[in-house]
Each structure stands twice: as C-alpha cells, then as structure tokens.
Structure 1
Amino acid sequence: MAGGAAVSSGQTISYGHLIDRTPWYKNSHLLHHVLMDTTVGETTFVRTFLHTEAMFLGSMINGLQSLPQWQDAFNHPTGSSNIGSLSALPFAPYMADGLGRRFTIIFGACLMVAGTILQTASQNVRMFIGARWLLGFGVNFAATGAPMLISELAYPSQRGQITSMYNSLWIFGSIVAAWTTFGTFHIGTSWSWRIPSAIQGFPSIIQLVFIWFVPESPRWLVSKGREEEALDILAYYHARGNAKDPLVEFEFEEIRSAIQKDSEVKRNVGWLTLIKTPGNRRRMRIIVAIAFFSQWSGNGLTSYYLNQVFDAIGITDPTLQLLINGILQIYNFFICVIASMLCDKLGRRKLFLISTGGMLIFWTLETVCFFLSSVHGNVAAAHTFIAMIALFGTFYALAYSPLIVTYTIEILPYELRSRGFTFFNFVICLSLVFNQYVNPIALKALGWKYYTVYIAWLVFEVTFIYFYLIETKNRTLEETSALFDGDDTVVALSNQAAEKAEIRHRATETKIDDSIEKQSF
C-alpha cells in the first residue's frame, strides 16, 4: 500500500503507525492543535471556565454555608437544589444531536449568564433557589455538548488525556469558588456572598466570546451529510490542513462507516435502545455504576457538607473551615491533572481499581478517626481525620474526577452517545439528590456510624469494577464503542475504514499521476 491508511495487526487493523507521537510541546502542528482544542490557550480558557461554572454551583454552596452573612440572609437553610439540572435532561440530547454540539454549549452559557444575574440580585431565598434552578438548567446543556465536542474533535493520541482533563478542570471551578468565598468572608454585608455569585457569570461570558473559534464536531457534520466540512476540520486539526494525509483518510472513512452503520437502524433508535441489545445493556450497567460510584463513595459528605463534618469533629472556626476547603481543592486539582496524563499509559481499568481500592482503605481510616474525635473528643484524631480526607481525595481524584466522562463517551456509539451521556447525567443528578437531602439527615442522626455504610458500599464498588469494567485505552471512538458489540464489529469497522481509505488514497495518487502526464504533453 503506497502510503496506505493502515496495516493489519493480527485480526484487527492498527492505525497507530499513522499517528504523530511527537510530544505536543515539541511539535508545532500538535501544539497548534492543543492550543485550539482544550488544553492550553483560548478555547481551554472557555472550557476551563465552563467547568468553573458547573463546579462553582456545588463548591460555592459548600463555601457559602460557612458564611454567617449568607446563613443569616436566608434564615439558615438546609439542603440544596438540583432540580434545574434534572429539568434540562430531556431536552439536552435532542439539541446536541439536532442543532450541534456548539449551539448546545452557547445556549447553556446564555442561560447561565441569566441565572448569575438573578442569583446576584437575590433578595430572598425564593429568588436564590430560582436562580440556582436556572443555573442548573443551563449547566446541563453546556455540559452535554462540551465533552462530546472535545472527544469527537481531539487528535487520536490525545483524546483520552484531553477528555479526562476536561472533567478534571471542573475542580478548577472548586478552587475559584473556595478561595473566592474565603476572600469575601470578612465583608460584613451581603456582598460577602453576592461577589462569589457574580463571579459565576464571567466564565460564561468568556465562553460566549471564544466559542466562535472552536469548530463543530466532524462526526456531527458527517451525520448531517456535511462531509466536506468534516473532512476539512479533520485535515486542519490533525494533519496541518492535508486532507490526503493517511491518518485523516482513515479517520474520515471510519467515522463514515460507523455513522452509516448506525444510521441504518436510526429510525428505531430511542431511549429504550439503550437496553435493547446485550452490548447496550453491558454499556448501561457500567455507565449507571460509575455514575453512582462517582457520588456515593463517601465524597458527597465532604463535597457539600464539609462544614457539618468539621463541626462534628470540633473544627468550628469558619475561617479555618474555608481555608482547609481551599487547600484541598488545589491539591485535588493537581492529582487530577496527573491522572489525566496517565490514563493512556496505565489504562482506565487499572486507574479505577487503584482509585476505588485506595478510597476503601482511607475511608475506613476516616471512620476510625471520626469515631475517636466525635465520640471521645480526641484532638489528634481530629487532625488525622483531615489528613485522611486529603488521602481519600487523592485516590478519588485518580479516576472519578478525570475518567467518568471520558469512559462514558468513548464506550457509546455515535447514535446513542448523546442519549447515553444524558442518562449518565441523570443518574448523577439522582445521586446528588441523595447526597444533598439524605446525607445531612443521616449524618446528624447516626454520626460516625453512618460512615460504616460507605465502607460496605466501597467493597461492592471494588468488586464490580474488577469483574465488569472493560479496558478501552489506545482505541478510536468507533473501535471502543464496538468492543461491546463483539470483536467482529471492531474488525469489520477497522477493515472497512482501512479499505475505503486505501481506495481514496490510490484514487488521489491516480489523479496526481494523470495530471502530471497531461502536463508532460
């Protein structure tokens, strides 16, 4: 194959030899791609602040609960609201598939700007809750379009790291939220909580400015029959604008083959399709599990009600609570970045196993420290408890911060991707409702005994991941999603794409030869 698209490796087709393996920071082509696609520079600014907006909603409330000014202004409310996110779920996938990933992000950002204005101007708890609903509604649209756009646009060798970095950067929002509330804590007026509320709007404003520099998903364009646009985008971002590059030809034909295959059954695709076939049931079993695991591993107690946990172990100074919260967020962010960079080297399954096993160990130690400090008043145990929170967070951040979105998106075929990802977000919302309403009641009623429930649950998580999670590293999106439908599907897709890419490549060479021959006459 004169410069062909792919070579056979056993039964399957390998495209690995076509990928530029030079580190992005040493390669001007890949540097340009990274600058424009999510990790550094302008578009990352947009996406980073998208994550800031979403994570701000949870982390800022955690910080505000330590502000006496906020507590007094709203008569010491308890619980939180996640209904806005749930309300958006039925609509987000249809917008993402029908109008595009970019439009969905833009729509969500506009809603978040409106919600920010309302929250900042809140005069009573009803206005505040209404603003929270609008923010949650907008976040879900943006958070549906963004990870799919990133994953479907990324260079093959960078997709895992970039998509994992997307979810990891949510913690950047936690850092901004935690330190903003810490900085405004000593303001004696309502601006102590209005300033953090107002800052939520800046990320969305920046996003609305820079989103116009981000291209649409080539897979979405192919699904709409706009194949030339899709090919141009792949060429520009993956091969310095060379549409005849073997990797671009292979990617393009594989995308076309996969979407054509999915389109053959598109008329029958609905929500029930997610559980109709054995392969889809395997997907949804894993997706539902990691969604619940991401929120029900004990992290919910420290994500939203860290102040109540501190009160229970005798750390009641609001300044100290906010300071510890801010430091923990910075620490977790660096762990997430490191884990994101390792996801293709170590693999998804190994990181999930290490992460969940580590959480089990340190949650058990947290339980012991919580018992000694809250029941027996042991000061040393209280300080050790804080260290255990940090170590527990370290292992949580190895997989559940960076990988849950990456893994969910890459195991779903194109036609089911938006619906499957929306269902994943729905399960996240359900688990958050449990965290926000059940955890504080159970913690108050049971104290340290409530921690033992999560020990048993973490044992179940480790067992489930060991037996059911499938490794997906170093595969294209199409090959990864096909894993669940049988090895023959992976081989067929890869072979079909390689054959079509080879035909396209030879046709191009023939045209060039004919042109040269005509010129010679």
Structure 2
Amino acid sequence: MAPNAVKNADGANAYTELMDPQRTWYNNRRLSRLIILNAWIVLLEIQTSTASGYDGSMMNGLQSLPQWESYFNFPTRGKLGLLGAIQNIGSLAGYPFTPYLCDGIGRKPTVFIGALLMVIATAIQTAAQSVGMFIGARFLVGFGLTFAASASPMLIAELSYPKYRAPLTSTYNSLWHLGSIVAAWSTFGSFKIQSTWAWRIPSVLQAAPSVVQVFLIWFVPESPRYLVRKGKEAQALRTLAYYHADGDEMDPLVRYEFEEIKAAMDFDRTVSANVGWKAFLSSKGNLKRARIIIAIAFFSQWSGNGLASYYLNKVLSDIGITNPTTQLLLNGILSIWSLICALTASSTVERFGRRVLFISSACLMTVCFTMQTVCFARFTITGDNNAAHGVIAFIFLYSAAYNLAFSPLIVTYALEILPYNIRAKGFNIFNITISVALVFNQYVNPIALAALSWKYYVVYCVWLVCECIFLYFYLVETKNHTLEETATIFDGEDAREKIVGTAATHAGMAAKGVEDQGEEEKGSTEFVEIA
C-alpha cells in the first residue's frame, strides 16, 4: 500500500491513498482520539493567535478612550507611534532565543514560557501608573508572545492529521481576528466607566488566554518530528499511531508518515547539510525559500492593512467620524467581518491552492485600496460625506480581500515550505520580518498620516502593484503536498528520491513484515489444530 503513495506525490497528497476515507474528526473507530487531538490544536490556535490579535485591537480601542488618552497625557505622533510599536520591539528582542528553545527543549515548553511571560506582562500593564510603566509592560508582552507565537504554529502543523493540516494551520492565523473581536468589544463595553478601569479591564482580560495555556499546555502531545530529531523514535511513532490511526503502529499511513519524517531529516542532515543559519545560503532551494518567506512577511504588513488595524480611529477622524462610540462600534464590526472572511478562506486552501488565493487577494487589495484612496482624497478636497461613506465601505471590502489569503495562508505557507531542520530558524526569520515591518508601520504611520493625509495612501497603492507582480512570478504552489514533500519542489529530484522514495520503501517493507508475521502465526495455529 505504501509504494502507491509515491505515484500520487505530483498530484494529490502522498498520504491520500493511505488515509482511511471513513476516518474523519467526527467518524472513526475511536472517536475520542482525533477529537482530543483537534481540541489541543484549537487550544493552541485560540490561546496564542487570539492573544496576538487581542493586543493589536486593544491598542486601537484604547486610543478612542478619553480615559486612556487623558491618563497618559494625550500621546500623539512619536509617542503614539512608540506605544504601538513597542510590543513588536519586544518581539524583536525575543527572536534570537526562540529557534534554540523550539529545537532545544521542544515546542511545548517554549509555548509555556511564552504564556507565562504574557501573564506577568499583562499584570504589569494593568497596574501601570505611568506611560513608562505601560511601555515597559508592552515590551514584555511582545517578548513573551514571541515564544508562544513561534512554537504554537509549528506544533500545530507537525501534529495535525494530514487531511486537516492545511485548514487547521490556516485557521491559526485567522483566529487573530477572534482576539481582535474580544478586545474591540471589551473596550466598547468599558467605555462608559468613568475611571482608569475603562482601560485597565481590557488590559487584564488580555491575560485570560495565556492563563489557560499555562495550565493546559502540558496535556498537549509533543511534535513527532521534534521527537524523531531527538532520537525518541519510539515515542514519536506512538504519538502518530495514537492520534492518527487509533493506536495502530503498523497502520500504513502511520508507517509512511514516520518513515518520511526520518528520511527527510536524514536528507537534510547528511545529504544537503541543511542545518544552521548558513543553510539559507547553501542551496538554490533554500535561497528561494528565504526570498518567499521574507516577501510574504513584508506583504502581510506593508499592504496598507496597518492603517485600519492599529490606527482606525485616526483614519475615521480624518474623514469626519470623531464620536468615540461610533469609532469603537465600527472597530468591533470590522473585527467580526474580518474573522468571518478569514475563516471562510481557511476552509478553501486545499481546494483553490496557494497561488490562486495569494494572487487574487493581492489584486483585489490593490483595487479596493486604490478606491479607498480616491474616496479619501475626494472627502479631503470637497468635504463630500458620500466619499467618507465610500472610505468605510472600501475598508470593509479591502478587509475581505486581505483575509482571502494573507490572514489564513502566510503562516501555513511559511511552515510548509521549510524542512524540519531549518523550520524553527526559517519561521524565526519570517517573524522577525513581520516585526520589523510592524515597527516601521506603527511608528511611521501616525506621523505620515498627520503630515500627508490621503497622499500617504498613494505609497501603498504603488506598493500593492509590486506585490502582485512578485507573487505572480515567484510564488510556488504547494497544494496537496505533505510537509516533507515540499522539499521535492524546492530541492529537486534528489530530494524526491531520498525522501519520498525511501519513505515508501521502508513503509512497504514494514507492511510486508506484518503480513509475513500474520501468515506465520496463521500457519502455526493451523499446525496446532491439526496436531
């Protein structure tokens, strides 16, 4: 059965013929195991991605609270930019350590460390007595979030049942909007409190996901790929079998997964010397990977989305909507709309493929953002209220376009094109790029908006066209490929023979061994009966 998997590698996922068509998350022989696995994955998704989304939306909402503005002496321009950017500066400080923790002590302990730091940071943030204390706490928020947000998506991708890996990993980043929704409506709900608790309550609620994660992360299984890398092959095989095949270690799917993981690691370690930071310069395949992950990371933050994500209140004020209640209400509705769009797109990633979604998203963003710029300019020049309403409409349409690919796919795509031995380091490069882009955006955007108004939008219009061109020429399709199979796309035919071929051969031999053993047992039983 396993050798057939190789035949499918170019078209469908190599696991396709090995997966039991009757085994779905709601219908398998031992229903509880796959449900439990998916429950742990949902925990990782909600607790980590939601915490990240909560922070961005909370800062957006706090800027509309007079209680927060007056307490911190009405921050503007540079100080406001620092308040927005400091969380990502904290993230940058954590990135040098994350790949070594993820690969050294494991994905689970790294998530725990990040969650614990987040709990401490939000406690300090809630108790802040000065703008300096608030900034310091937000730095620590970013520092802690780095560890959890680096390890969680890798653990999700490496644990998931093959059939659900892409949708589940795509859902991870999409749930950023769930945190955004909770934060937006928390600030809306606390708006009427006439004390500092108007902003302290949303701040303390930010700790909730991390508190849950601190206590529950220890029940989540460790990544089988990490276990294989550390020489714990028996434990890795048990984990795969328990969650992917109802405990059957000789299941064809489990044997193929296990052998493919081992073959991929052997190839990376002994054939291509695909280890360490120098690996990103050691081959054309890795250079392609680095170029793509850096590009999509920049695109995810430099597409104009940072204006509505972090400074929506400033944008609304510029088009004449200055009522704090209206601003908070629009922020909350936009968060719900974005979540719906992102989750819908997450369910289609294996149907339409990565290239179609990315290119369609970039083209639609270009159109919507250009129209948003036109409406903004018209309002500024003529004061036409209809143009202001047009800006709001195109903000919502732009959000739908952005969430077609850039919310669900950037993490999924970055992880699946990186082989295990450089996955933590490559994902670290991806996250560093995002943080650098965010620091620039969050610090520069309020200054540029105050100085240039609608003219600043033109910069993003031009940049979006450049994104469309890059994605068309350089993005590689990875639809229906396993994590290990993508090496055959970037590293050539040698990788295909070493990884896919070796895995199929070893899995086939294992399956044949079970059949032979079964025949021997059968013969032995018959002899006893005859005797």
Matched position secondary structure for 1:304: helix
Instruction: Please show how residues 285-296 of structure 1 align to structure 2 within 5 Å.
Output: 285-296=291-302
Cα distance in 2 between the residues matched to 1:342 and 1:34: 21
Alignment check: 8 A CA contact 1:373 1:379 kept: yes
1:51 to 16, 34, 49: 49
**Counterpart contact for 1:49–1:173, Cα < 8 Å:** no
User: In the superposition, relative to structure 1, how do residues 11 and 160 fare at CA in structure 2: closer, same or farther (>3 Å)?
Assistant: closer
Note the aligned Cα RMSD (angstroms): 1.8
Structure 2 counterpart SS, 1:28 = coil
Correspondence 1:117 to 2:123: yes
Distance 2:382 2:37 in 1: 53
Q: For residues 360 and 333 of structure 1, do their structure 2 counterparts lie closer, same or farther at Cα, with a shift above 3 Å needed?
A: same
AA aligned opposite 1:492 = K
For residues 113-152 of structure 1, the aligned pairs below 5 Å read 113-152=119-158
Check if 1:263 corresponds to 2:269.
yes
8 Å contact from structure 1 (residues 218, 231) kept in 2: yes
Paired with 2:30 and 2:288, the residues of 1 have a C-alpha distance of: 35
Which range moved further: 335-344 or 274-283?
Answer: 274-283
Residue in structure 2 matched with residue 305 of structure 1 by the alignment: 311
Residue identity matched to 1:370: F
Structure 2 residue matching 1:476: 3-state secondary structure? coil
Which stretch shifts more, 269-278 or 402-411? 269-278
The whole-number CA distance in structure 1 between the counterparts of 2:274 and 2:365 is: 42
Residues 263, 498 of structure 2: 8 Å contact kept: no
Q: Shift of the alpha carbon at 1:290?
A: 0.3
Q: What is the alpha-carbon distance in structure 1 between the residues aligned to residue 22 and residue 393 of structure 2? A: 39
Q: 1:34 to 1:55 in 2, by over 3 A?
A: farther
Give the alignment partner of residue 427 of structure 2, picking from 403, 410, 421.
421
Distance 1:66 1:30, change over 3 A: farther
Q: What is the SS of the residue equivalent to 2:248?
A: coil
Match in the other structure for 1:62? 60
The whole-number CA distance in structure 2 between the counterparts of 1:514 and 1:261 is 35
- Of 157, 163, 187 in structure 1, the residue corresponding to residue 163 of structure 2 is 157
Give the aligned partner of residue 412 of structure 2: 406
Q: Kindly indicate whether residue 201 of structure 2 is the aligned counterpart of residue 195 of structure 1.
A: yes
Residue 337 of structure 2 corresponds to residue 331 of structure 1: yes
Kept after mapping to 1: 8 A contact 2:153/2:172: yes
- Give the alignment partner of residue 94 of structure 1, picking from 86, 90, 100: 100
| Offset, 1:425 | 0.3
Is 1:374 aligned with 2:380?
yes
CA shift, 1:460, in A, is 0.4
Q: Return the offset for 1:23.
A: 7.7
Instruction: Show the counterpart of 1:356.
Output: 362
Using the TM superposition, give the Cα deviation of residue 26 of structure 1 relative to its aligned residue in structure 2, in angstroms.
Answer: 4.5
The 8 Å contact of residues 264 and 498 in structure 2, kept in 1 or not, is answered as: no
Deviates more, 1:461-470 or 1:5-14: 5-14
Q: 2:186 aligns with which of 160, 174, 180?
A: 180
- CA–CA distance in structure 1, aligned partners of residues 31 and 208 of structure 2: 27
Q: Is the 8 A contact 1:43 1:211 kept in 2?
A: no
Check conservation: 2:273, 2:279, Cα contact below 8 A. no
Q: Distance in 2 between matches of 1:107 and 1:266?
A: 33
Counterpart-to-counterpart distance in 1, 2:123 and 2:129: 12
CA pair 323-472 structure 1, distance change in 2 beyond 3 A: same
The corresponding residue for 1:28 is 28
The answer to whether the 8 A contact 2:269-2:275 is kept is no
Whole-angstrom CA distance in 2 between matches of 1:155 and 1:134: 34
Query: Which residue of structure 1 lines up, in the alignment, with residue 72 of structure 2?
Result: 74
Moved more, 373-382 or 323-332: 373-382
Q: Which amino acid letter does the alignment assign opposite residue 324 of structure 2?
A: P
Task: Report sequence identity in percent.
Answer: 51
3-state SS of paired residue (1:477): coil
Are 2:433 and 1:435 aligned? Answer: no
The answer on whether the counterparts of 1:266 and 1:415 sit within 8 Å (CA) in structure 2 is no
TM-score for both structures, normalised by structure 1: 0.96
1-structure distance, mates of 2:9, 2:17: 16
Q: Deviations over 1:382-414 (max 9, x none)?
A: 111101000000010010001000000000011
Distance, in Å, in 2 between the alignment partners of 1:23 and 1:346 is: 23
Check the 8 A contact 1:21/1:157 in 2, yes or no: no
Residue 506 (structure 1) shift: 1.2
**Partners in 2 of 1:352 and 1:24 — Cα distance?**
28
Q: Is 1:505 the equivalent of 2:516? A: no
1 CA distance for matches of 2:72 and 2:228?
A: 50
Query: Within 5 Å, which residues of 2 pair with 1:336-351?
Result: 336-351=342-357
Confirm or deny that 1:450 pairs with 2:456. Answer: yes
Give the secondary-structure state (helix, strand or coil) at the position aligned to 2:128: coil
Give, in whole Å, the separation in 2 of the partners of 1:114 and 1:277.
42
- TM-superposed CA distance for 1:32, in Å, is 4.1
For this pair of structures, how many residues does the alignment match? 517
Q: Is the 8 A contact 2:373 2:454 kept in 1?
A: yes
Q: Which residue identity is paired with 1:182?
A: F
Q: Which range is displaced more, 507-516 or 476-485? A: 507-516
- 2:37 corresponds to which residue? 37
CA distance in structure 2 between the partners assigned to 1:23 and 1:331 by the alignment: 33
Residue type of the alignment partner of 1:53:
A
Unaligned 5+ segments in structure 2 are none
SS in structure 2 at match of 1:269: coil
Does the 8 Å contact 2:263/2:499 carry over to 1? yes
User: Are the equivalent residues in 1 in contact too, given 2:289–2:417 (CA < 8 A)?
Assistant: yes
Q: Does the CA contact (< 8 Å) of 1:5 and 1:249 recur in 2? A: no
Q: 1:177-220 CA deviation, whole Å, 9 max, x = no partner?
A: 10000000110100001000100111111112221221000000
Partners in 2 of 1:30 and 1:314 — Cα distance? 58
> How far apart in 2 are the matches of 1:30 and 1:283?
39
CA spacing shift, 1:117–1:291, aligned 2, 3 Å: same
| Partner Cα separation in structure 2 for residue 388 and residue 34 of structure 1 | 41
Pick closer, same or farther for the CA change 1:338–1:23 going to 2, 3 Å.
Answer: farther
Partner of 2:489, secondary structure, is: helix
Task: Give the C-alpha shift of residue 147 in structure 1.
Answer: 0.4
Once residues 294 and 19 of structure 1 are traced to their aligned partners in structure 2, the CA distance between those partners, rounded to angstroms, is 34
Q: Which amino acid aligns with 1:467?
A: F
For each residue in 1:297-344, what CA deviation from the matched residue of structure 2 results, as whole angstroms up to 9, or x when unmatched? 000111111111111110000110000000010011011111001000
What is the identity, as a one-letter code, of the residue corresponding to 2:287?
A: R
Contact 1:250 1:501 in 2 (8 A): yes
Offset, 1:16: 1.4
Which segment drifts farther, 208-217 or 287-296?
208-217
SS class of match (1:365): helix
Task: Give the aligned partner of residue 15 of structure 2.
Answer: 15
Structure 1 runs not aligned, ≥5 long:
none
Superposed CA offset, 1:240-263 (max 9, x none): 111111111111000011112222
Q: What is the Cα deviation at residue 24 of structure 1?
A: 3.3
Provide the rounded CA distance (Å) in 2 between the counterparts of 1:37 and 1:357. 37
- 1:124-171 per-residue CA deviation (whole Å, 9 max, x = no partner) reads 111111111111111000011100000011111111000000111111
1:102 partner letter: K
Deviates more, 1:264-273 or 1:251-260: 264-273
Q: 1:10 to 1:332 in 2, by over 3 A?
A: closer
Match of 2:215 in 1: 209
Q: TM-score when scaled to structure 2?
A: 0.94
Q: Distance in 1 between matches of 2:41 and 2:129?
A: 35
Q: 1:123 to 1:30 in 2, by over 3 A?
A: farther
Equivalent position SS for 2:404: helix
* In 2, Cα distance between equivalents of 1:230 and 1:440: 49
